[in-house]
Chains A and B, each alone.
Chain A
Amino acid sequence: MESLDFIHLTLSNGLYLFIVGFVGGLVSGFIGSGGAFVLTPAMMSLGVPGIVAVASNMCHKFPKAMVGAFKRAKYGQVDWKMGLIMGASAEAGVLLGAHYQELIKQHFGDAGSNLYVSVAFVVILGLVGGVVMRDTIKTYRSGMLEEEKPGRLAQWVQSIHIPGTMVYFPSIKTRISILFTIPLGFATGMLAATIAVGGFIGVPAQIYVLGMSSLMASATELVIAFVMGVGGTIKFAWSGYVDIRLAMIILAGSLFGIQLGAIGTTYVKPFMIKLVMGVIMLTVMVSRALVLPVYLSQLQWIPAMDSNTMTLLKNTSFFIMILALATGAGIIIVAILKGRRAQTNSLNMLKQAA
């Protein structure tokens, strides 16, 4: 086993990871995923080797997702059967995604691998984030914030009957073919292996393709993340890459966050889940689009850039990524506070009436 240089932990970098973990956990507890993408670069900014950062992120992710899933299951928001079926196919997607990553790294080096990840971010988050945001705006304008009905695609999927493959899912109260859920889980895993957040495909897919509600989809995503996280942790720990100290410090913050995020889902209207997800996806897309020229330049596919410009673009990209997470967390906290205030007011009115 090769010897790894694990970083020296100080109070300040421990606190930094705790806070990033808290914000990431808050977002994950609310939308089912989305907190992990900033943790790997956050650890790397402390000098943690890339592979150790990915491994430690994975090792904090599965216990966090497990706690979040149980918490939200208490509120009746989790479809365990859907989560486990999609989680199993996501695991296969993770393995293939990781294999592609290795192939790209072998052929094009670190710059090629970074370019591949950034293009995946920009294309997928741009497309899916755009759909989610459009739907959120449409829902807001319609004024029907409480109601969620399956769209045309979901209705079509639910109408298809393929003998021998039909499974009843409580979240949609009907039977659908697992020939639809398997590729969706697989794509979720592929994305998780590429950009660390499979939920950016998993949650919208469950809403728009399978016809689940935002609340159920975001909660069920935590089960998928748990299954993927266990498999990923075993894979990395088998090679000795997990820095358990880092993983547990991030977990310390993220468990505070995920509990609050899960509680938050009971105070907000369903469209808020889509709003937070859409805002984060589109902001992260901008962040990754900024660094595309850096990697293109390193591959010499465009004229060379000077190092100052590269550093500026990378730092700006990292800042926007943190901003994306902070914006999502801010929307969630405001929504929770508003929801609590409305609840307090209505309780006071009831007391007065009595």
Chain B
Amino acid sequence: MAHPTPTHSTTSYFKLIAWGGASLTMYAFLLFFEQPILALTSQGKWFFIFPVLIAFAFSIVHGNFTAEFWERLGFRANK
């Protein structure tokens, strides 16, 4: 869907690809090494820090990717 005033610069596409690539890599890593990662994150006690840190890391990387994704599709806040 095209936005009324699109501004598709090379930098913004680069950002989309960079965040998307990083997000994809993280998900591939999580699923490829699912057993050792599950073993680490489900140990309990002070190991609680691992699921919390993983969640923060994914939220930053994937959050930036999804923001860029909608931006490039033309879904921007109405000012």
Contact = CB atoms under 8 A, between A and B. Distances in A.
Contacts of A343: 4, 78
Interface in B1-43: 1, 4-5, 27, 30-31, 34, 37-38, 41-43
Interface stretch (A181-189, A197-205, A250-258): A250-258
A4 B42 contact: yes
A255 B42 contact: no
A237 B51 contact: yes
A263 B5 CA distance: 16
Size band of the B side of the interface? Answer: 35 or more
The winner among A62, A340, A343 for most chain B CB atoms within 10 A is A340
10 contacts: A6-B38, A63-B58, A238-B48, A239-B44, A240-B42, A243-B38, A244-B50, A251-B58, A256-B70, A260-B75
Interface string A264-306: 0011000000000000000000000000000000000000000
A64 B42 contact: no
Interface in B35-79: 37-38, 41-45, 47-48, 50-52, 54-56, 58-59, 62-63, 66-67, 69-70, 75-79
Given A238-B45, A240-B42, A240-B44, A248 B55 contact: yes
Contacts of A6: 38, 42
Given A244-B54, A256-B66, A344-B4, A238 B44 contact: yes
Contacts of B34: 9, 245
Closest 8 CB pairs of A and B: A63-B59, A240-B44, A237-B48, A67-B63, A240-B42, A266-B77, A266-B78, A255-B66
Given A243-B42, A248-B27, A340-B1, 17 more contacts: A59-B52, A66-B59, A67-B63, A240-B42, A240-B47, A241-B42, A242-B51, A244-B51, A244-B54, A245-B37, A247-B55, A251-B55, A255-B63, A263-B76, A263-B77, A266-B77, A347-B4
A347 B44 contact: no
Contact of B52 (A60, A237, A245): A237
B69 to A, nearest CB: 7
Given A238-B44, A347-B4, A244 B30 contact: yes
Size band of the A side of the interface? Answer: 35 or more
A75 interface: yes
Nearest to A249: B27
Nearest to A351: B4
Contacts of B52: 59, 230, 233-234, 237
B41 A244 contact: yes
Contacts of B30: 244-245, 248
Contacts of A59: 51-52, 55
A162 interface: no
A69 to B, nearest CB: 11
A71 B79 CA distance: 14
Contacts of A60: 55
Contacts of B54: 244, 248
A344 B62 CA distance: 29
Contacts of B77: 74-75, 263, 266
